[in-house]
Amino acid sequence: MIALLAVGAVTFGTLGIGAWGVRLVRTTSDLLVASRAVTAWWNAAAISGEYLSAASFLGIAGLEMQIGVAALWQSLGFTAGYLALLLFVAAPLRRFGSYTIPDFAEARLRSPRLRLLAAGIVLVIGGFYLVPQLKGAGLALNVVVGSPYWVGVAVVGAIVTINVAIGGMRGITYVQAFQFWVKVFAISVPAILLLIHLGGLPERAALFGRSLPRAGDHGLVVRRLPVSETVQFPAAERFELNGRTVLVRAGEKLHLSAGSDLRLPAHALVPYATGITPERGTTWARPVGGPGQAAPLFVYSLLIATFLGTMGLPHILVRFYTNPDGHAARHTTVRVLALLSLFYLFPAVYGALGRVLTPQLYLTGQTDDVVLTLPRLAWPGTVGTLLTAVTCAGAFAAFLSTSSGLLVSLAGTISHDVWPRVRHGMSGSVAVRRRQFRSAAAGGMVIPCVLALFAREVDISILVGWAFAIAASTFCPMFVLGIWWTRLTARGAAAGMTLGMLVATAAIFTGLALGEPTAGAGVLLEQPAVVSVPLAFLVMIGVSLRDPRRLDTTDEMLALHAPEGLGLRLADQDLEVVG
């Protein structure tokens, strides 16, 4: 009940500010990008607020519960992505002055067709990134009010669509900045209070020793299993199922129907759902090694995807145009690194505590729930309930802000880049364009919602990893080469991006079809970046070198690299590229 109130407050706060923001929104450029000239700290908080999604808030801790310390490469990669952005993209891109990735593609390489290709890729990345947000929403609403999974997906999908349709980019940097601090509060305060309450991490063998996750001193009770599951018992066990005593052998699999009640005796080894491999404490503490997501190949592939993919996320880049100049863009990014470092101290706490205190999530398979349910289960009583309310509200802040940012980018791309091409030419008035933007927002949410309904069993962190892999295999090489290499041509960029995207998506869908093979090079199907990114770079360079058409890039290089305030730049003569 308290959780519902907290979630409601966050949601209606966001919606209310969205509605209030409408009055501030007057022109298309306001609708697409909040007005410029905000201080670096505010901007950094806003970028971080938009960036921290369900993957950061729920996914890292959930994955950590499952595969152990190796999950923390994710948070490092998510942070390091801003270093790549800082080193190669931030200042030049801000100076160049295009609002969106398709704008940049067309302006730098003088090819309207490349714009369309870039727009298509924006839609794919945005779609892939929206699915895990909606999945998180389905899980979170289930924890808060016990609603079925699809209800949460539909409700948050609808709220975000309305929010975007009425408010554009919520007009305001300050709202996103505020959302960042909401999320930091919501993940840090419960974590710190829990650690104080428990007196540090509870010393149980499951966390550090040779043991598998076990029930606590008072046994383990699971009431009303949310979905039917086949679970495997690691040891012979006598337990209660729906009030009757059942005996299982070690390694036996048992099908439990939805709604079952289980009661395991004290210190019993916890059975685990299909798709989860239980780890002994020592293996759990292993950061690299072994099969699956801790395999060195996977770790490197993930690091490449996140390091290079961040710069290609459509909803992040657009935020950089609220910096007044290239210098400010750099310093904003450094602050983003600092703010993200602060946030990512905390998800690890939930994963470690969850392994010890909420082992029932191994049984239900819903480890992505751990941030939401841990406070309530680890600290019975009012305080625990309150803290769960806090983490639920924070999770909703994460879905709402990231999904809204993504949907703005998607809708902007559809109404701005794709629609005018299909219907030939920009149709005139502001009112018409705004209506197009709104219908695009509604349309852009439908497919991700449908996909999210099928993605319940796929971990949030895996889903987000795909969005990063595609971004890293397409937009990253286009930006890095387009900014620093004069010889890049439209044909080269198109070939590299197309191939990068094809290889990445083909790997992902093959992996899905084969049921995520985890041995040897099979992990590359789950995270293909280590192959697809170098391939995209090589093809882009190779095709550009063979392209007979050379561009004179003097003007573009001037716009990208000349510092402001010298009268060298078109932008200094107060010309703004408004799409």
Residues lying near another protein in the complex (CB under 8 A) are found at 69, 72-73, 75-76, 79-80, 82-84, 86-88, 91, 200-201, 203, 207-208, 282-289, 296, 299-300, 303, 326-327, 330-331, 333-334, 337-338, 340-341, 344-345, 348, 352, 484, 554, 557-558, 561-563, 565-568
Q: Which residue number, 58 or 121, has a Cβ lying nearer to another protein?
A: 58
How many CB atoms within 10 Å of residue 509?
Answer: 12
Q: Which residue number, 542 or 565, has a Cβ lying nearer to another protein?
A: 565
CB of 520 to another protein, least distance (A): 16
Of 387, 396, 360, 294, residue with least CA distance to 64: 294
Q: Which residue number, 58 or 116, has a Cβ lying nearer to another protein?
A: 58
CB of 574 to another protein, least distance (A): 17
Q: Which residue number, 200 or 515, has a Cβ lying nearer to another protein?
A: 200
Q: Which residue number, 87 or 506, has a Cβ lying nearer to another protein?
A: 87
Q: How far is CA 72 from the centre of its chain?
A: 15
Q: Which residue number, 474 or 553, has a Cβ lying nearer to another protein?
A: 553
CB 505 within 8 A of CB 129: no
CB of 427 to another protein, least distance (A): 40
CB of 178 to another protein, least distance (A): 23
Q: Which residue number, 87 or 250, has a Cβ lying nearer to another protein?
A: 87
Buried b (16+ CB within 10 A) or exposed e, 347-375: bbbbbbbbbbbbbbbbbbbbbbbbbbbbb
Q: Which residue number, 71 or 119, has a Cβ lying nearer to another protein?
A: 71
Q: Which residue number, 113 or 330, has a Cβ lying nearer to another protein?
A: 330
CB of 195 to another protein, least distance (A): 10
CB 481 within 8 A of CB 84: no
CA distance 403 to 127: 10
CB of 30 to another protein, least distance (A): 29
CA distance 475 to 497: 7
Q: Which residue number, 36 or 561, has a Cβ lying nearer to another protein?
A: 561
The token duo for 136 is 């998180």
Q: Which residue number, 57 or 344, has a Cβ lying nearer to another protein?
A: 344
Cβ burial of 252 (10 Å; 0-12, 13-18, 19+) is: middle
CB of 70 to another protein, least distance (A): 9
CA distance 60 to 74: 7
Q: Which residue number, 388 or 518, has a Cβ lying nearer to another protein?
A: 518
CB of 566 to another protein, least distance (A): 5
CB of 71 to another protein, least distance (A): 9
Helix, strand or coil, per DSSP, at residue 237: strand
CB 168 within 8 A of CB 161: no
CA distance 398 to 343: 12
Instruction: Name every residue whose Cβ is closer than 8 Å to that of residue 530 and which is 6 or more positions away in sequence.
Output: 297, 300, 301, 304, 524
| Unique residue bearing structure tokens 């995807």 | 305
CB of 198 to another protein, least distance (A): 11
CA 227-294-206 angle, 5° bins: 65
CB of 14 to another protein, least distance (A): 28
Of 521, 417, 332, residue with least CA distance to 112: 417
CB of 202 to another protein, least distance (A): 9
Helix ranges (DSSP H) in 310-381: 314-317, 326-343, 347-357, 360-364, 370-378
Instruction: Name every residue whose Cβ is closer than 8 Å to that of residue 99 and which is 6 or more positions away in sequence.
Output: 29, 32, 33, 318, 321, 577, 579
CB 169 within 8 A of CB 408: yes
Q: Which residue number, 99 or 479, has a Cβ lying nearer to another protein?
A: 479
CA distance 489 to 254: 59
Of 329, 320, 312, 358, residue with least CA distance to 474: 312
**How do the residues of the chain divide into helix, strand and coil, expressed in percent and rounded to 5?**
70, 5, 25
CB of 444 to another protein, least distance (A): 33
Q: Which helix (H) or strand (E) segment is 46 a member of?
A: helix 40-51
